[in-house]
């Protein structure tokens, strides 16, 4: 059994799992990283990354067979023949929707770090203090000044490009040079600043791309084929960044096809002793032992593991003593925004495919603004010129029509909101013991919905977008309010929140399970509130901080 | 494709979604692959090549849709991505197009010269646009809208279309957000 003993186990290999493995390995621990899906080797396995658009049989579109095979993934953009292997099989891994919840999962080494949007923003005290001030859920046990050095730390390694905009509630970080705005975006940004007297900002997105070479990584090549894997390592992923760093220490063992079914718990010592693994290929069961366990299986899946663990002590699972395990599920609600076309600028264009756009940070319910809902939203979007799908008024077919389509068309500008969802106790997941996945394991049932606060916010998200773009000179601005189904943000958060009191939270301020201090949960499950920024950078920072704490506590024999 | 691209793709392609892609919303019957394999014979592929070439002909500056093997492309997409209803509309459309040719010029499409083909398709395009103007939710697609959409999509994402009619740079290497453009410069592919 000696080969199954490690100093630490990391469950999951996505953004936060990769960080946990890197940090633990660099501190000298022998680590095994368990991943439920296949291995994906950097560069070698990016089989579609170098293909031209014409080399995809259906040009990246979806076939009726794919639509049939992926009843969940088909609900939004991810379903594409270009990277289908990197999204979990809906048929092998079903779940129950008590209310509709679009759950888009990446089950392979690297997880969704291969697929993410790479937008990277810090949270601020506006976010950390909100629950306490408004008496919502429980207070965050952390404030900005405690986490700020860890944002610095992870940004320097991950490579985050951005502009130092000096916005207090969207703190600046350790940025690589920002990407350019397009000519139209620059002018729209200036008009918004003027119209709203400096209270609203349109900035270039802050994004995990190497706009400059950093150690071990090439510069971003502006191909915008990121979700096929980047052979240049131009964006942060487990493969491009944390995994090579962990491997370099000689301390890492990576085991793909390893579904962790439970954490093994010693009720006398009140500590986890390791995990049980079901080999996804052979269906054999294995046990791995360690004195530290990091859960980074993704929000919902980490909670699923806890629900299946130590049930002899707590019927609802490890971490359930507060009654909050599985509760307070959040996402960002989106699908609402506006767009139009822009007159002029016919003599302006751009070079390269920018994997980024504009960002308008939150401006609602701050600086004296007060709405009929709490919290707020940000916008992402951009301005570009139309391509061959433009309308040509003069010609309908033929040589002139074709020539017209070979030139860029009008400028258009659009943006969509990312709104905060409050942590509601009744938005939750639980085990569905009547349904099993391909491996005979019980699945999750998800019960989550938008409520009054979010629905009121969505009205502003549309009308504000229309107003801002119109005031900035965009023509024929039309608002849209599409599908706000939770899950579509692909920012699942909560279900194992951190807090100050073991009676009302699952984790303490160091991401330790109150009932098993050698178990750390540092994926999105820990989030006490959602803020409205893309959350991955915060997972990185909290993970690095938690590892530091784990190793220091371990040295003090406290774990 | 990231979220932003997906949003713009959906709204920009003819102000609607790609035909076939919306099938999951309406619960349409998926297409019949075996039937389509039988239906798409070499004559039909040649016919669709010529229709495509009329929509996007060879010009001094770039090859036409035929060089992009547009007939084969239509076969692939209609067979694999269309619903059964849309497959039927598309296949019936070939007959309707020929009938329109006979009504207008007293001959099959393949027998017409380039200028008559052009005039015929201009008229059919107008017919499809008028149809779409009065179209209600749930009404079937017009066959000519399908043919035209497939021609444009297939051509501009093909190797000859992307690299000769447009400018395709596999690895740009840098990004410049605001540079001069002069009339006549080709648009970027993708």
Q: Residue B7: which pLDDT band, with cuts at 50, 70 and 90? A: very low
Q: Residue A170: which pLDDT band, with cuts at 50, 70 and 90? A: very high
Least CA distance to B58: which residue of chain A?
Answer: A399
Average pLDDT, chain B: 88
Residue A517 has pLDDT above 70, yes or no: yes
Q: A483 in contact with B at a CB cutoff of 8 Å?
A: no
Residues of A in Cβ contact (< 8 Å) with B4: 357, 380-382
What pLDDT does residue B8 have? 45
Residue B11 has pLDDT above 50, yes or no: no
Residues of B in Cβ contact (< 8 Å) with A389: 12-14, 152
Q: Do A54 and B162 touch (CB under 8 A)?
A: yes
- Over residues A381-406, the mean pLDDT reads 93
Question: Could you count the other beta carbons within 10 Å of the beta carbon of residue A333?
Answer: 28
Contact in structure between A33 and A51 (CB atoms under 8 Å): no
- Over residues A266-295, the mean pLDDT reads 98
Residue B117 has pLDDT above 60, yes or no: yes
Token pair in block for residue A128: 């950390």
What pLDDT does residue B13 have? 36
What pLDDT does residue B10 have? 36
Residue A309 has pLDDT above 80, yes or no: yes
At A112-121, the pLDDT tens digits run 999 999 999 9
Percent of chain B with pLDDT over 70: 85
- Report how far residue A529's alpha carbon sits from residue A80's, in angstroms, rounded to the nearest whole number: 32
- Over residues A537-554, the mean pLDDT reads 98
Distance from CA of B4 to the nearest CA of A (A): 7
Residue B167 has pLDDT above 60, yes or no: yes
Residue A483 has pLDDT above 90, yes or no: no
Residues of B in Cβ contact (< 8 Å) with A64: 20, 23, 30-31, 80-83
Contact in structure between A382 and B4 (CB atoms under 8 Å): yes
- For residue B125, the surrounding DSSP H or E stretch is helix B114-133
Residue B16 has pLDDT above 50, yes or no: no
Distance of CA B170 to the CA centre of its chain: 24
Q: B54 in contact with A at a CB cutoff of 8 Å?
A: yes
- Over residues A199-213, the mean pLDDT reads 98
Question: Could you count the other beta carbons within 10 Å of the beta carbon of residue A344?
Answer: 12
> Of the ranges A305-309, A371-375, A480-484, A491-495, which one carries the lowest mean pLDDT score?
A480-484
> Of the ranges A37-41, A82-86, B12-16, which one carries the lowest mean pLDDT score?
B12-16
At A429-453, the pLDDT tens digits run 999 999 999 999 999 999 999 999 9
Residue B94 has pLDDT above 80, yes or no: yes
What pLDDT does residue A24 have? 98
- Over residues A86-95, the mean pLDDT reads 97
Q: B146 in contact with A at a CB cutoff of 8 Å?
A: no
- Report how far residue B21's alpha carbon sits from residue A78's, in angstroms, rounded to the nearest whole number: 13
Indicate the residue of B1, B77, B148 with minimum beta-carbon distance to A227. Answer: B1
- Over residues B134-163, the mean pLDDT reads 95
Q: In what order do the strands lie in the sheet with A271-279?
A: A258-266, A271-279, A285-289
Residue B12 has pLDDT above 80, yes or no: no
**DSSP-derived 3-state class of residue B164:** helix
Residue A160 has pLDDT above 80, yes or no: yes
Strand segments, DSSP code E, in A267-406 are 271-279, 285-289, 292-295, 332-333, 336-342, 348-351, 358-360, 377-385
Q: Could you say which residues from 400 to 429 on chain A have a Cβ atom under 8 Å away from some Cβ of chain B? A: 401-403, 405-409, 412, 414, 416
Q: A250 in contact with B at a CB cutoff of 8 Å?
A: no
Residues of A in Cβ contact (< 8 Å) with B150: none
Residue B15 has pLDDT above 80, yes or no: no
Distance from CA of A518 to the nearest CA of B (A): 37
Residue B1 has pLDDT above 70, yes or no: no
- Cα A193 to Cα A188, A197, A471: the distances in Å are 9, 6, 11
- For residue A255, the surrounding DSSP H or E stretch is strand A252-255
At A310-357, the pLDDT tens digits run 999 999 999 999 999 999 999 999 999 999 999 999 999 999 999 999
Q: Do B187 and A407 touch (CB under 8 A)?
A: yes
> Of the ranges A239-243, A260-264, B1-5, which one carries the lowest mean pLDDT score?
B1-5
Residue B17 has pLDDT above 80, yes or no: no
Least CA distance to A83: which residue of chain B?
Answer: B1
Average pLDDT, chain A: 97
What pLDDT does residue B5 have? 53
What pLDDT does residue B28 have? 59
Q: Residue A490: which pLDDT band, with cuts at 50, 70 and 90? A: very high
Q: Could you say which residues from 85 to 104 on chain B have a Cβ atom under 8 Å away from some Cβ of chain A? A: none
Q: A224 in contact with B at a CB cutoff of 8 Å?
A: yes
Q: Residue A20: which pLDDT band, with cuts at 50, 70 and 90? A: very high
Interface A:B, Cβ pairs < 8 A: 204
Q: B76 in contact with A at a CB cutoff of 8 Å?
A: yes
Distance from CA of B121 to the nearest CA of A (A): 7
Q: B186 in contact with A at a CB cutoff of 8 Å?
A: yes
- Cα A191 to Cα A188, A197, A199, A330, A512: the distances in Å are 5, 10, 12, 34, 47
Q: B177 in contact with A at a CB cutoff of 8 Å?
A: yes
Residue B9 has pLDDT above 60, yes or no: no
Q: Do B156 and A223 touch (CB under 8 A)?
A: no
Residues of B in Cβ contact (< 8 Å) with A381: 4
ipTM > 0.90?
A: yes
Indicate the residue of B159, B165, B170 with minimum beta-carbon distance to A406. Answer: B165
Contact in structure between B161 and B68 (CB atoms under 8 Å): yes
């Amino acid at each position: 059994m000696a080969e199954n003993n490690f100093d630490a186990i990391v469950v999951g290999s996505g953004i936060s799992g990769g960080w946990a493995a890197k940090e633990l390995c660099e501190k000298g621990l022998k680590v095994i990283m368990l991943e439920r899906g296949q291995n994906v080797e950097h560069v070698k396995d990016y089989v579609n990354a170098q293909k031209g658009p014409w080399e995809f049989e259906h040009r990246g579109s979806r076939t009726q067979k794919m639509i049939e095979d992926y009843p969940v993934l088909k609900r939004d953009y991810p379903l594409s023949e270009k990277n289908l292997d990197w999204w979990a099989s809906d048929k092998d891994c079903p779940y129950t929707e008590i209310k509709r919840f679009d759950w888009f999962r990446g089950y392979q080494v690297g997880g969704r770090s291969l697929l993410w949007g790479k937008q990277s923003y810090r949270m601020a005290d506006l976010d950390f203090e909100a629950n306490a001030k408004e008496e919502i859920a429980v207070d965050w046990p952390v404030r900005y000044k405690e986490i700020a050095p860890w944002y610095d730390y992870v940004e320097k390694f991950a490579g985050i490009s951005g502009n130092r905009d000096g916005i207090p509630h969207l703190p600046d970080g350790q940025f690589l040079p920002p990407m350019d705005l397009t000519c139209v975006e620059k002018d729209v940004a200036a008009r918004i600043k003027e119209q709203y007297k400096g209270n609203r900002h349109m900035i270039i997105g802050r994004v995990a791309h190497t706009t400059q070479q950093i150690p071990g990584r090439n510069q971003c090549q502006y191909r915008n084929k990121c979700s096929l894997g980047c052979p240049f390592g131009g964006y942060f992923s487990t493969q491009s960044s944390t995994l090579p760093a962990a491997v370099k220490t000689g301390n890492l063992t990576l085991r793909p096809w390893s579904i962790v079914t439970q954490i093994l718990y010693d009720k006398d010592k009140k500590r986890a002793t390791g995990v049980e693994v079901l080999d996804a290929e052979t269906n054999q069961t294995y046990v791995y032992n360690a004195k530290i366990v990091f859960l980074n299986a993704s929000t919902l899946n980490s909670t699923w593991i806890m629900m299946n663990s130590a049930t002899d002590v707590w019927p609802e699972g490890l971490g359930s003593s507060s009654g909050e395990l599985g509760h307070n599920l959040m996402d960002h609600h989106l699908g609402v925004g506006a767009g139009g076309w822009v007159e002029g600028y016919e003599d302006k264009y751009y070079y390269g495919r920018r994997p980024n756009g504009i960002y308008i940070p939150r401006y609602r319910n701050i600086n004296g603004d007060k709405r009929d809902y709490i919290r707020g939203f940000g916008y992402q979007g951009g301005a570009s010129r139309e391509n061959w799908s433009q309308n040509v008024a003069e010609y309908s077919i033929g040589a002139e029509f074709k020539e017209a389509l070979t030139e860029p068309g009008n400028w258009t500008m659009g943006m969509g909101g990312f709104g905060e969802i409050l942590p509601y106790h009744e938005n939750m997941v639980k085990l569905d013991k009547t349904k099993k996945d391909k491996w005979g394991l019980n699945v999750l049932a998800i019960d989550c919905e938008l409520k009054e606060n979010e629905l009121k916010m969505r009205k502003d998200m549309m009308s504000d977008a229309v107003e801002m773009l119109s005031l900035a000179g965009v023509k024929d601005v039309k608002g849209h309010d599409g599908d706000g189904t939770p899950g579509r943000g692909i920012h699942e958060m909560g279900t194992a929140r951190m807090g100050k009191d073991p009676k009302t939270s699952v984790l303490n301020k160091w991401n330790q399970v109150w009932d098993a201090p050698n178990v750390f949960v540092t994926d999105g499950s820990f989030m006490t509130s959602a803020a409205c920024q893309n959350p991955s950078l915060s997972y990185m920072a909290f993970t690095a901080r938690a590892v530091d704490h784990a190793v220091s506590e371990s040295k003090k024999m406290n774990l | 494709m990231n979220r932003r691209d997906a949003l713009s793709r959906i709204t920009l392609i003819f102000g609607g979604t790609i035909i076939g892609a919306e099938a999951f919303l309406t619960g349409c019957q998926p297409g019949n692959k075996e039937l389509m394999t039988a239906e798409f014979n070499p004559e039909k592929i040649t016919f669709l090549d010529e229709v495509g070439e009329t929509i996007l002909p060879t010009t001094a500056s770039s090859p036409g849709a035929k060089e992009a093997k547009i007939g084969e492309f239509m076969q692939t997409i209609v067979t694999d991505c269309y619903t059964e209803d849309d497959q039927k509309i598309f296949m019936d459309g070939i007959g309707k197009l020929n009938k329109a040719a006979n009504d207008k010029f007293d001959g099959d499409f393949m027998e017409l010269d380039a200028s008559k083909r052009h005039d015929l398709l201009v008229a059919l395009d107008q017919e499809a646009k008028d149809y779409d103007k009065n179209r209600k939710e749930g009404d079937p697609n017009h066959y000519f809208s399908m043919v035209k959409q497939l021609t444009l999509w297939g051509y501009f994402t093909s190797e000859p279309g992307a690299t000769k009619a447009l400018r395709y740079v596999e690895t740009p290497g840098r990004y410049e957000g605001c540079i001069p453009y002069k009339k006549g410069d080709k648009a970027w592919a993708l």
